[in-house]
Structure 1
Amino acid sequence: MSKILVTGATGNVGRHVVSQLAEAGLEVRAFARDPERAGLPVETVHGDLTAPETLEPALEDVESVFLLWPGFSTGNAGEVVATIAKHARRVVYLSARTSGGGSHYEEVEELIRRSGLGWTFLRPGGFAANTLGWAGQIRQGVVRWPYGPASRALIHEKDIAAVAVHVLTSGGHNGAAYVLSGPDELTQAEQVRVIGEVIGRAVHWEEQPLDEARERLMEAWGEATFVDSALEAWGSFVDHPERATGTVAKLLGRPALSFRQWAHDHAADFS
């Protein structure tokens, strides 16, 4: 039986892709920088997409690849896609819900289109897991952050993984680009309130001035272009909310997991 190679196998989404494929009894190979520490229930090989020479051995007997591109530029993506195309038949690429403008996600999509591989693109919007960045502030009872009225339909990482597994294990998805979201359109302030309700703690939103937010993000990320792009994107959701798509429910035949369910699943991370 041909194997499925999962890159990004130790990440929020990849770990669930691996476990769900394994539970379905499929042959899975996980691609990880440190296999011994990965703790995955499948064959795990050493690899790093920024070192393409590690990819070719991992592709032996592989038919399909779940691809998560690391970083925020295309880098050596062309070489990676070409290597995959030499060995595999199809790729499911975890892209992103973008508004155009030549992002690295779109550049990698174009490389895949030109590769000769069969492909499916998964384009989730905001990840619910990104709110884990507020965990320290939530423990203190106040989240100080910009754009409290910005509204998004955050998606549970388990749903992204479930869609990936569905696409990898069923037909009819070649050439499709699926825009994925959660079912709830919540402002950032409402997201904080829901987390507080789930963990049984009063948590309040405090609007942070943009210059202060930018300074903090520069300290954390160190890349001005990326910081400004992130702030601009968050601000855009105030007047143009990210809408729920319903795609998860259509593909999986069940409702997408709610943000409240995600908060229950991660309650310990906020306690």
Structure 2
Amino acid sequence: MGKILVTGATGNVGRHVASQLAEAGLDVRALTRDPGRATLPVQTVRGDLTAPESLEPALRDVESVFLLWPSFTADGADEAITAIAKHARRVVLLSAHGADDPGSHYHEVERLVRRSGLGWTFLRPGGFAVNTLGWADQVRRGVVRWPYGQAARSLIHEKDIAAVAVHVLTSAGHNGAAYVLTGPERLTQAEQVRVIGEVVGREVRWEEQPPEEARELLTAIWGAPEFVESALRTWESFVTAPEVVTDTVERLLGRPALTFRQWAADHAAAFSAPSSQPSS
């Protein structure tokens, strides 16, 4: 098997992809903007997907690429994918469940990959369990104030996304597939908070936040009003139409997907340790 390049290699999913590939004894290279700060068990090369001219050293002798596009827009993706297609033969793209929406940047990145001439597989996870780390300060204070407490999600552990990516990168039969990945169960956001509290041994109460207040707060944090609007619409929709649950992880890996409680146990320290940031 040829060399595999992992982009987004210091992120929540990419670091697990790189580590799992290395543990399997495969030839792996990681792309990162700052190799000096990366702590990965693989060769690490400087490069930036938004600067395609920087990718040549990372792509040398590469056969397959785990691709995570690092932006909320598809600007520059065409040039990056063209650069990848000059070297690699196939791409496993970390996309999203909403990629069928023509207004989504995931939709556009998928379109560019399809027309690139590369063999491709799309991973389309739903909600990431790791995003609930955004509640960590509030969990420590005992109250999580957030909108749409009754939105039911099937959050997926980032280790499962990585495990599927590794499976697809190292086995045949996945060319042209688009896999929707979820956790094994649905929990409302309020139930997620309760589970985190049970795992860390702290009573944590849910407090419903008006969407207007959340919109202002999230726009200040994320700086992308259109992304905030999309997130709020999505959470609202899950109140009446809960997020889908698939068995894709189990079918591909031969074991059940990890539960949200398992995810919370893996990250208990993040909810228990004192915050290094001032409370807002």
Pairwise TM-score range, normalised by the shorter structure:
over 0.9
- Report the equivalent of 1:119: 120
Percent identical? 75
The one-letter amino acid of 1:190's match is: E
CA offset digits 1:195-215 (Å, max 9, x no partner): 000000000100001111111
- Report the equivalent of 1:74: 74
Matched, 1:40 2:7: no
| Aligned partners of 2:5 and 2:66 also within 8 Å | yes
CA offset digits 1:98-129 (Å, max 9, x no partner): 15242000100000000110000000000000
The one-letter amino acid of 1:19's match is: S
The one-letter amino acid of 1:203's match is: V
Matched, 1:64 2:64: yes
The one-letter amino acid of 1:49's match is: L
- Report the equivalent of 1:168: 169
- Report the equivalent of 1:191: 192
Paired residue secondary structure (2:135): helix
Structure 1 residue ranges without an equivalent (≥5) = none
CA offset digits 1:108-151 (Å, max 9, x no partner): 00000001100000000000000000000000000000000000
**Rounded Cα–Cα distance in structure 2 between residues aligned with 1:78 and 1:220:** 28
Paired residue secondary structure (1:254): coil
The one-letter amino acid of 1:6's match is: V
Matched, 1:22 2:41: no
**Rounded Cα–Cα distance in structure 2 between residues aligned with 1:222 and 1:96:** 21
The one-letter amino acid of 1:90's match is: R
**In the TM superposition, what are the counterparts of 1:64-103 in structure 2 within 5 Å?**
64-98=64-98, 100-103=101-104
Taking structure 2 as the reference length, what is the TM-score of the superposition? 0.95
> Larger deviation: 121-130 or 238-247?
238-247
Provide runs of 4+ in structure 1 moved above 2 Å.
none
Deviation at 1:75, TM superposition (A): 0.8
The one-letter amino acid of 2:157's match is: H
Paired residue secondary structure (1:226): helix
The one-letter amino acid of 2:26's match is: L
The one-letter amino acid of 2:199's match is: V
The alignment of Structure 1 onto Structure 2 pairs a total of residues equal to 271
- Report the equivalent of 1:258: 259
The one-letter amino acid of 2:35's match is: P
Deviation at 1:222, TM superposition (A): 2.3
| Aligned partners of 2:139 and 2:271 also within 8 Å | yes
Deviation at 1:2, TM superposition (A): 2.1
Paired residue secondary structure (2:31): strand
The one-letter amino acid of 1:188's match is: Q
**Rounded Cα–Cα distance in structure 1 between residues aligned with 2:39 and 2:225:** 35
